[in-house]
């Protein structure tokens, strides 16, 4: 389906993701908790992580699919943090010229049977268009949509896998900080009791 192996995609995705997460951490630690409104709420953090994951996935995919453009274009313009914006633009630079693969169905006379079949399929693909980035574009014909769906599913699965690995890694390293704090708490409580 895609030229490069999935492994190189995962590596590129991981790299992009970690850079974004690092930026996010730096950004939040720059604002101390006393300045109201500067610190990110947990919900905002979650949205930032999610958007980083999508941008990282789309950028790592590179050229050759429509859904990547659908993710990257609005992300680049919506990015308020200057450094974050540069990341998106830098990732985008990895892609060569994006040639659309959608071939419009011919507009010559069509057999009624074929045309009806295509209209039926297009009703069925309506739901699919809603979940695939860029799928809502009417210019995307059914065949292209199906190819996009296949490509998107493969990369979504990799996104889930990598996110899980990253969470587990952070949990392993992060829990040590919690353990130190909890051990300190236990020692403190014991001291109070004696």
DSSP three-state, residue 97: coil
Rounded to 10 deg, the angle between the 6-30 and 142-193 helix axes is 50
Please identify, using beta-carbon distances, which residue of 8 and 110 lies nearer to another protein: 110
**Shortest distance, position 43 Cβ to another protein, whole Å:** 9
**Shortest distance, position 74 Cβ to another protein, whole Å:** 17
Please identify, using beta-carbon distances, which residue of 32 and 93 lies nearer to another protein: 32
Contact indicator for 91, 16 with CB cutoff of 8 Å: yes
**Shortest distance, position 11 Cβ to another protein, whole Å:** 19
| CA atoms 156, 161, 165, 168: torsion sign | positive
Residues that bind another protein (CB under 8 A): 21, 24-25, 28-29, 31-33, 39, 42, 45-50, 53, 99-106, 108, 110, 114, 117-118, 120-121, 124-125, 127-128, 130-132, 141-143, 146-147, 149-150, 152-154, 156-157, 159-160, 163-164, 166-167, 170-171, 174, 177-178, 181, 184-185, 188
User: Residue 182 has what DSSP assignment?
Assistant: H
Please identify, using beta-carbon distances, which residue of 93 and 108 lies nearer to another protein: 108
Contact indicator for 63, 96 with CB cutoff of 8 Å: yes
SS (H, E, C) 63-86: CCCHHHHHHHHHHHHHCCCHHHHH
Pull the structure tokens for residue 117: 């079949």
Please identify, using beta-carbon distances, which residue of 19 and 154 lies nearer to another protein: 154
**Shortest distance, position 70 Cβ to another protein, whole Å:** 14
Please identify, using beta-carbon distances, which residue of 93 and 111 lies nearer to another protein: 111
User: Residue 131 has what DSSP assignment?
Assistant: H
User: Measuring CA to CA, which residue among 53, 60, 68 is closest to residue 100?
Assistant: 68
**Shortest distance, position 6 Cβ to another protein, whole Å:** 13
């Amino acid at each position: 389906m895609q030229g490069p192996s999935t492994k190189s995609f995962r590596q590129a995705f991981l790299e992009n993701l970690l850079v974004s997460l690092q930026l996010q951490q730096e950004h939040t630690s720059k604002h101390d908790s006393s300045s109201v409104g500067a610190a990110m709420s947990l919900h905002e953090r979650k949205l930032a992580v999610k958007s980083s994951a999508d941008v990282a996935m789309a950028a790592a995919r590179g050229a050759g699919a429509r859904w990547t453009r659908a993710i990257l274009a609005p992300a680049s313009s919506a990015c308020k943090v200057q450094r974050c914006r540069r990341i998106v633009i830098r990732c985008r630079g990895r892609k060569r010229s994006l040639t659309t693969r959608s071939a419009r169905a011919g507009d010559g006379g069509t057999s009624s049977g074929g045309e009806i079949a295509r209209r039926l399929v297009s009703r069925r693909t309506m739901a699919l268009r809603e979940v695939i980035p860029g799928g809502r574009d009417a210019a995307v014909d059914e065949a292209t949509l199906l190819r996009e769906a296949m490509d998107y599913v493969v990369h979504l699965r990799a996104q889930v896998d990598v996110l899980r690995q990253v969470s587990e890694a952070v949990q392993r390293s992060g829990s040590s900080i919690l353990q130190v704090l909890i051990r300190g708490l236990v020692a403190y409580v014991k001291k109070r009791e004696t």
